[in-house]
Amino acid sequence: MFNRVILIGNLTKDPDVRYTPGGTPVTTLSIAVNSRYKQGDESKEEVLFIDAVVFGKQAETCGQYLAKGRPVLVEGRLRERRWEYEGQKKSKMEIVANNVRFLSSRKESSSPGQGFGEIPPPEEVTDLEPF
């Protein structure tokens, strides 16, 4: 079987960094991915909102350098989480990321040194989830 997802989108909120009881960093990224398509003569836009979970050193780096509105490329695998809340079964699809790339915004590419700060993000190292 093959389970591979690559998305490019913008963060809808600041990254949420937490730590497992064993001390492993875990960061959740909420991403909006826009798709445009034509329906007859009319152009339409569809927005997909999806969460990605990042583990290890890369999770800390995401928490340090990313912020709401920042464009990112997320690569990983799709998984479904299931739980029960107040007697109702719930589920949610999310990406378990093994690679997060920090992308330049349009503002940054047109005027260097402006936008999301002066500190460039480090080269990313892929971390696998700890369990």
Quickly state the pLDDT bin for 33 (edges 50, 70, 90).
very high
Q: What is the pLDDT of residue 42?
A: 87
Please spell the DSSP secondary structure of 84-104, one letter per residue: EETTEEEEEEEEEEEEEEEPP
The whole-chain average pLDDT of the chain stands at: 85
Residue 129 or residue 20, greater confidence: 20
Q: What is the pLDDT of residue 41?
A: 87
Q: What is the pLDDT of residue 108?
A: 58
Please answer whether residues 48 and 35 qualify as being in contact, where contact means their C-beta atoms are separated by less than 8 angstroms: yes
Non-local CB neighbours of 21 within 8 Å, separated by 6+ positions: none
> Which domains, from first to last, does the chain contain?
5-103 (2.40.50.140)
| pLDDT tens digits, 12-31 | 999 999 999 999 999 999 99
Please spell the DSSP secondary structure of 30-93, one letter per residue: EEEEEEEEEETTEEEEEEEEEEEEEETHHHHHHHHH--TT-EEEEEEEEEEEEEEETTEEEEEE
Quickly state the pLDDT bin for 38 (edges 50, 70, 90).
confident
| pLDDT tens digits, 49-93 | 999 999 999 999 999 999 999 999 999 999 999 999 999 999 999
